[in-house]
Structure 1
Amino acid sequence: MTDVSINGVPHRPVPGSSVDGISPERLRTIVQDSHLSFLIGAGTPSSFFGLLGNVEDALTELSESTADDDVKTIVRASIQAYFFDSVLVPNVKVVDRHADAEGVLTSYAEFLRTVNRILLKRHSSILAKQASVFTTNVDLVFEVAMEQMGIDFSDGFSGKIRPRFDLGDFNTIRLRMASRFEQRSEMPVFNLVKLHGSVGWRQETRSPGRIDIIFDHGLTVVAEVQEALAAARDDLISIGEPAEVNAAALVAKASPGLASPAVHDFVAAYKKLGIVNPDKQKFATTVLNETYYELIRRFANEMEKENSVLFVHGFSFRDEHLRDVVLRAARANPTLQVIVFCYSRADRAEYQKLILDIDVKNSNVLFIVPAEPEEGIDELKATLDVVTRDYFAPIVADKFPAPDQRIELGIHISAGESADV
């Protein structure tokens, strides 16, 4: 096996991998000495949630359309209904730990358990035992998996009875003290930052001009939107497949005339969701919102720290705003390493169309692709399970692993069938 160089750092490829891999030794060095951050996108849980297709492009094109306002209202509501059905409603099964959600919850649990062990075993006296998970996803898979496993995490909410979003909750160091000798030990903590909001966020007006974000344990807003959507369903355009999310085609299908009161009720209910909508103009209205602005700034600040690493999975970089944030940090901070796990070998070419070499003067963006398959064997896809197993798990592989009840898998799935939602 021949040594190769990646970004100027020599390392030996993993057996059977291409030079586009990274060795456990090199990865161990990175995570041991760096501030750890992860950027998780819609591709990570796509096996459970519906595909969005070109929803973002369709909503953007619709906003620029010259169609009648009522037609645009119907089409926009139809696209939002598709997004709601595909991405938001399945969270009811996630929260209920329904058997259908077992696969995605177990994948996240394995990943979190592995990173938690990495943090636990990290010997640096300078770096806190923390990892920041930034995600554009609005689902609750991370929260449910972390809670089930007893992993300490900060999601920005403080309080028990009525948790309210508070940015000061992040970056909290947590210590455990032994009851007998009062020995203190730092515990691993994940900072979970939902860049585009969450299906579990409910906006409440506390006073004129002041809106609080409350954690919606029971997904009550989702239930309200679902009820409004049921009443408006017959007045909307059915979208069966991601490929059908086409603004011009949907405008042509829309019946002329006024949008029904039921459609307007659905639109009003949908606006109560604490999420950033999937269109290219999403930051035109939310970047001035203190919460979203602060979350994006926190993301940028984390990458500006000396000796930082950002692992990217399931994120396409088609979000121009976040892509610019990452590239700006990569140019300004030569000690930042951005490691992108490509789902397939072909995906690297797509990434490189968006992230040009000229934009990364420090050569600190690395694309990791699956090994080239042998003849007659299907290509391996870099799912979260594969990334956990092949890249992060070897870092903490113990010959005789000691039992650690706090961080062993503890996902409990309901065996019963729940009502369809």
Structure 2
Amino acid sequence: MGLQPRQLLPVLLRLLKETDDETALARASVQGYFFDRVLLPNLRLLDAKNDASAQRLIKSYGRFVGALNRILLKRRSTLLGKQVNLFTTNIDMAFEHALELLEIDTNDGFAGKIRPRLDLGEYSTLRFRQGARFEYRSEIPTFNLFKIHGSAGWQRDGEEIYFDHRLDVIRAVQTSYEAAKATLLQINEPTDVDAFMLGFSATGKALDQAGLEFAEAYKDLQIVNPEKTKFASTVLNKTYYELIRRFANELEKENSALLAHGFSFRDEHLLDLVLRAAATNPTLQVIVFCYSREAHQEISALFPSEKVKNGNVLFVRPAEPKEGAEERKLSLDVVVEDFLEQVLEDEAPPADHIIELRLGGADDA
């Protein structure tokens, strides 16, 4: 759950260059693997009470957004806004479940109650609470959730995108996937993809009717696929570029801070945006939490010093483990525990004045 197997990207790029039957089978097989590993687990989130792994995932995300919410609550000055922007390339519904569980006010871009429709103007909404007696107003923390690559919970109807509460699109594609599963090439791990790519051309197989129906049903998913022809529809294309524009605008604001976690920066478009913003906005601070020391080497190589002239991109990596110990990888829980929750620890401020009180009886007067 929450898995984004970007290892499939090079394979899909090669597949797009071919149009024969065997290539169509291979491409549908990769899409089947992606659907099975990334999209289907979202159904378990709907029944998280009976799924231990779903509970752990929501708890982890809940701890993260809860810490951010408490940080915003510490902002007593009206000059400081109480909004946080969450830009995610994940298409799962973990953020939505965690935010709702904690009853945190959220702008996810959807307007309406009965059939919420995607309206990006919702992101400009501020939330206030007003006292019943004295009518004082105070801004409350609000989370803006931007699903840059679409979502498992998006459903297209004509030229509009609606929120799919019951994940009906996922269920419909699941029916087609189960019918075609036996004829798709089996992939157990992302590393298996190259192995079968070397040999699939000798199989002489092609997509049968069930496979063709799955490939067609897969197009109904409103997600940006890990491939060069990313978009399932013009509507998603337009939405994607609007969300990217919002991301770029936030990076250009004075004294902005971008905290990145769980992102490899292999998406060239997003990488270019961050590099350009870091170069043109010296007040921007980018902090990248690298999951492992190995990941740090890979990600930092994408930020050469000649492109980061302002020195405003910092990398946080796990400390070198002691002999015989395992590396303390920077999972989401570790980032919250070691960094965010440290911000919330209140230190006793030094006294500005000392008042001495002498208490005594009548004889001391």
Partner SS state of residue 203, structure 1: strand
How far apart in 2 are the matches of 1:96 and 1:159? 24
Alpha-carbon distance in structure 1 between the residues aligned to 2:203 and 2:170: 27
How far apart in 1 are the matches of 2:62 and 2:232? 35
* Pairwise CA RMSD: 2.1
**Counterparts of 2:100 and 2:83 in 1: how far apart (Å)?**
17
Give the equivalent residue in structure 2 for 1:261.
209
CA contact (8 A) 1:309 1:338 kept: yes
1:240 aligns with 2:240: no
Q: Indicate if the aligned counterparts of 2:252 and 2:284 stay in contact, CA closer than 8 A.
A: yes
Partner residue, 1:96: 47
Residue in 1 that maps onto 2:66: 113
DSSP 3-state at the match of 2:124: coil
Taking the aligned partners of 2:119 and 2:232, their CA distance within structure 1 comes to 23
Cα offset, 1:259, TM superposition: 2.3
Q: Which residue of 2 aligns with 1:204?
A: 157
Aligned to 2:309: 361
Question: 1:331: which partner in 2?
Answer: 279
* Cα deviations by residue, 1:380-409 (Å, 9 ceiling, x for unpaired): 111111110111111112479xxxxxxxxx
Q: Name the CA distance, whole Å, in 2 between partners of 1:321 and 1:82.
A: 25
Contact (CA 8 Å) 2:22, 2:201: kept in 1 or not? no
Q: Secondary structure at the match of 2:266?
A: coil
Answering whether residue 101 of structure 2 is matched by residue 148 of structure 1, we say yes
What is the DSSP-based 3-state SS (H/G/I as helix, E as strand, rest coil) of the residue aligned with 1:213? strand
Q: Is the 8 A contact 1:313 1:342 kept in 2?
A: yes
1:233 is displaced (CA, Å) by 1.3
Q: CA deviation at 1:248?
A: 6.5
The C-alpha deviation readout for 1:351-396, integer Å capped at 9, x for no partner, is 1221111111111100011222222221111111111011111111
Distance in 2 between the 1:159 and 1:285 partners?
23
Name the residue aligned to 1:343.
291
**Relative contact order: is structure 1 or structure 2 higher (C-alpha 8 Å, sep ≥ 6)?**
1
Q: Distance in 2 between matches of 1:274 and 1:303?
A: 26
1:199-233 per-residue CA deviation (whole Å, 9 max, x = no partner) reads: 0000111xxxxx11010000000000000011111
Give the structure 1 partner of residue 31 of structure 2.
80
Do the aligned residues in 2 keep the contact of 1:61 with 1:247 (CA within 8 Å)?
A: no
Answer whether contact 1:193 1:295 (CA < 8 A) is retained: yes
2-side partners of 1:353 and 1:373: how far apart? 22
* Number of equivalent positions: 346
Whether 2:236 is the aligned partner of 1:280: answer no
Q: What SS class does the counterpart of residue 246 from structure 1 fall into?
A: helix
Distance 2:196 2:272 in 1: 29
Task: Say yes or no: does 1:193 pair with 2:146.
Answer: yes
**CA positional deviation for 1:251:** 5.9
Instruction: Provide TM-score, normalisation by structure 2.
Output: 0.90
Q: Is the 8 A contact 1:237 1:250 kept in 2?
A: no
Question: Which of 112, 118, 122 is the matching residue for 1:169?
Answer: 122
Structure-1 residue corresponding to 2:351:
none
Q: Distance in 2 between matches of 1:228 and 1:283?
A: 21
Once residues 353 and 77 of structure 1 are traced to their aligned partners in structure 2, the CA distance between those partners, rounded to angstroms, is: 33
Q: TM-score, normalised by structure 1?
A: 0.78
> Alpha-carbon deviations, 1:114-147, whole Å to 9, x = none?
1000011113433310000000000000000000
Give, in whole Å, the separation in 2 of the partners of 1:221 and 1:318. 28
**Which entry has the higher C-alpha Rg, 1 or 2?**
2
Q: Is the 8 A contact 2:6 2:226 kept in 1?
A: no
**1:275 match: secondary structure:** coil
* Alpha-carbon shift at residue 79 of structure 1 (Å): 0.3
1:60 aligned onto 2:13? yes
Measure, in 2, the Cα distance between the counterparts of 1:360 and 1:273.
37
Counterpart CA distance in 2 for 1:250 and 1:123 is 61
Q: Are 2:20 and 1:69 equivalent residues in the alignment?
A: yes
Unaligned runs of 5+ in 2: 349-365
Q: Secondary structure at the match of 1:199?
A: coil
- Amino acid in structure 2 at the alignment position of 1:61: R
Whether the 8 Å CA contact 1:134–1:192 is kept in 2: the answer is: yes
The structure whose residues are more often strand, as a share, is 1
Equivalent in 125, 133, 137 of residue 180 of structure 1: 133
3-state SS of 1:116 partner: helix
